[in-house]
Copies of this chain bind each other. A is one copy, B any other.
């Protein structure tokens, strides 16, 4: 996934010569805490936050150029950079928005922290049952019922709790990967459970083949 696949192409921008009054109204109207400052040909020249505008208004500044952060101070990414660079920058530098540029230095989008949250959480929202469906498709000669039965056995071994295959099936149809990871205590533990299930059904299949 590239930065351009995650960025919002609907972003506001302002010019160096815009008045603080106009800019503050634009930011308020669109509920944006930050905005790129661009040249006439849409190249990034600076960055402005609502906190800069507050300071500017209080201190009697007039224009964007009086209060903006120049480009050298701005964290930006290229369209074709991996989107995880935006994730790292957001997480490490506590940024809420990152401007994205093309080869010419033109601003083509902005990656916002909640866009990142949306993308990352989409992973968590995958139903556990869809992972089991992938297992069923991959493991030839293994039926869905065998998978549910093996999972109930593995769960009983791990937790001591008696759970029927049909209970297990209902559980994975209603729970997401994120819930499963938090429920089992981490990604590795979730994998270990799945591997144990796979091992059990494969051992049983081999057992059948021998008869």
Contacts and interface: CB of A to CB of B under 8 A. Distances in A.
Interface string A107-138: 00000111011101101101000110111011
A180 B72 CA distance: 33
Interface of A: 1, 21, 24, 27-28, 31, 33, 49-51, 53-55, 57-58, 82, 84, 87-88, 90-91, 94-96, 112-114, 116-118, 120-121, 123-124, 126, 130-131, 133-135, 137-139, 177-179, 181-182, 187-189, 191-192, 194-196, 198-199, 202-203, 206
Copies of chain A in the complex: 2
Contacts of A124: 84, 87, 120
Nearest to A142: B199
Highest count of chain B CB atoms <10 Å: which of A131, A191, A192, A206:
A191
B24 A54 contact: yes
A182 to B, nearest CB: 6
A28 B53 CA distance: 10
Say whether chain A's binding surface is mostly helix, strand, loop, or mixed. helix
Given A24-B58, A58-B21, A121 B33 contact: no
Contacts of A196: 138
Given A181-B123, A198-B195, A206-B203, A33 B96 contact: yes
